[in-house]
């Protein structure tokens, strides 16, 4: 089976730019990657950071779906621990009504922000993250029209009811979400670009433990990898310098706009920061088109998945778009779509 390639977009803010630039970049990248033959386009959720503009994926989905015509558009993902399952179900039922059979509802368990931001996001709620599994079950029931886990909500009606419900996925970078996905019979996507360690066992356990559901009869797993592709290895390595510095800033709790390669070269790294920057290479595939293709194919085969989502961030938008173009050409995505 041919490998399916998709896109995760975190709507990064570039050094020297602003959030509006990041949103416009997201819209343009969606148009470009649709023309290139990518299968789906997911928008991330992050809070309290100057480095990522996507705080509300459901709003971004509406805009991106309107700017495209064929790709599946979805959340990568909605941080359900903050929200009412009913409200999320209504949002995505409306999106699925507006854009039939094109909407994905990816769910995440992580807070998507720091501790105080998380407290503010859940202001007034007495339900903690320990209720996340129940929320997933209730949301699944609302989306499919089946009975919710909370019997008190059995008479709640979600409107509008789209002809084709949004496709639900659970997202994660550890075993917990994979276990829930297997138990609840949902597709699972592993965030390799966040945590590459232990992914093979997590996905294997998901497949082995999978319980068929009214949504899915067989396990369906994908993986999201970081990638930076350029014409030459040297050019890709230089673009990736920005990624190393950004990871250093993340470790320091100061995730600001995405730096230029020149800013990364000029930064006075401590020995520890040099190690952090160097370690960032383990969560991405960096190189020329052949190198990146081989890396993606090897990672997919090693983990037993047939869909790879790619997250690429470069300071220069043209270089970012070119990275996706080079990968698409190397895999022959447009030729496959036309066949």
pLDDT at site 121: 60
Please report, for residues 42, 82, 159, 171, 337, the alpha-carbon distance to residue 108 in angstroms, rounded to integers and kept in the order given: 13, 10, 23, 5, 30
Which residues, including other chains, have CB under 8 Å from residue 149's CB and lie 6 or more apart?
Answer: 134, 137, 138, 141
Q: Rounded to whole angstroms, how far apart are CA atoms 319 and 324?
A: 9
Residue count (the chain): 339
Give which of 125, 129, 170, 134 is closest to 152, Cα–Cα: 134
b/e string for 179-189 if b means 16 or more Cβ within 10 A? bbbbbbbbbbb
97-101, Cβ contacts within 8 angstroms, sequence gap of 24 or more: 97/160, 97/162, 98/62, 98/65, 99/65, 99/73, 100/162, 100/163, 100/164, 101/163, 101/164
279-284, Cβ contacts within 8 angstroms, sequence gap of 24 or more: 279/247, 280/240, 280/243, 280/244, 280/246, 280/247, 281/240, 281/244, 282/196, 283/192, 283/193, 283/194, 283/195, 283/196, 283/226, 284/193, 284/225, 284/226, 284/227, 284/228, 284/240, 284/243
Helix residue ranges, H only, the chain: 19-36, 57-67, 85-98, 115-121, 132-144, 175-184, 199-209, 233-251, 261-266, 271-279, 289-303, 317-331, 333-338
pLDDT at site 296: 98
Contact 54, 45 (CB under 8 A): yes
Which residues, including other chains, have CB under 8 Å from residue 106's CB and lie 6 or more apart?
Answer: 42, 74, 75, 76, 77, 78, 168, 169, 170, 171, 189
Tens place of pLDDT per residue across the chain (339 aa)? 589 999 999 999 999 999 999 999 999 999 999 999 999 999 999 998 999 999 999 999 999 999 999 999 999 999 998 899 999 999 999 999 999 999 999 999 876 566 666 666 666 565 666 788 999 999 999 999 988 877 888 889 999 999 999 999 999 999 999 999 999 999 999 999 999 989 999 999 999 999 999 999 999 999 999 999 999 999 999 999 999 999 999 998 888 999 999 999 999 999 999 999 999 988 899 999 999 999 999 999 999 999 999 999 999 999 999 999 999 999 999 877 776
Homologous superfamily (CATH) of 4-228+286-338 is: Luciferase-like domain (3.20.20.30)
* pTM, two decimal places: 0.94
Contact 253, 114 (CB under 8 A): yes
How far is Cα of residue 52 from the mean position of the Cα atoms in its chain?
A: 13
Q: Rounded to whole angstroms, how far apart are CA atoms 291 and 282?
A: 14
């Amino acid at each position: 089976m041919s490998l399916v390639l998709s896109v995760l977009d975190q709507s990064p803010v570039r050094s020297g730019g602003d959030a509006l630039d990041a949103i416009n970049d997201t819209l343009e990248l969606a148009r470009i990657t649709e023309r290139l033959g990518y299968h789906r386009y997911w928008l991330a959720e992050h809070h309290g950071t100057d480095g990522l503009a996507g705080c509300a994926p459901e709003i971004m989905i509406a805009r991106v779906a309107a700017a495209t015509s064929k790709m599946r558009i979805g959340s990568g993902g909605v941080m359900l621990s903050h929200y009412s399952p009913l409200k999320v179900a209504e949002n995505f039922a409306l999106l699925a009504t507006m854009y039939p059979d094109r909407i994905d509802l990816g769910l995440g368990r992580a807070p998507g922000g720091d501790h105080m931001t998380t407290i503010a996001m859940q202001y007034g709620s007495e339900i903690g993250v320990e209720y996340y599994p129940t929320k997933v079950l209730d949301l699944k029931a609302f989306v499919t029209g089946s009975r919710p886990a909370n019997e008190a909500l059995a008479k709640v009606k979600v409107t509008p009811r789209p002809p084709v419900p949004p496709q639900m996925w659970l997202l994660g970078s550890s075993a917990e979400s994979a276990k829930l996905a297997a138990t609840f019979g949902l597709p699972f996507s592993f965030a390799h670009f966040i945590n590459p360690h232990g992914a093979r066992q997590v996905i294997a356990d998901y497949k082995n433990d999978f319980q068929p559901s009214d949504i899915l009869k067989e396990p369906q797993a994908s993986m999201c990898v970081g990638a930076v592709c350029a014409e030459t290895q040297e050019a890709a390595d230089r673009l990736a310098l920005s990624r190393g510095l950004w990871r250093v800033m993340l470790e320091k709790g100061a995730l600001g706009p995405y730096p230029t390669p020149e800013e990364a070269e000029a930064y006075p790294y401590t020995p520890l920061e040099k190690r952090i920057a160097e370690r960032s290479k383990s969560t991405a595939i960096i190189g020329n088109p052949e190198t990146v293709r081989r890396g993606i194919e090897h990672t997919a085969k090693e983990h037993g998945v047939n869909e790879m989502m790619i997250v690429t961030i470069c300071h220069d938008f043209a270089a970012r778009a070119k990275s996706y173009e080079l990968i698409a050409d190397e895999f022959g995505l447009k030729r496959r779509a036309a066949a």
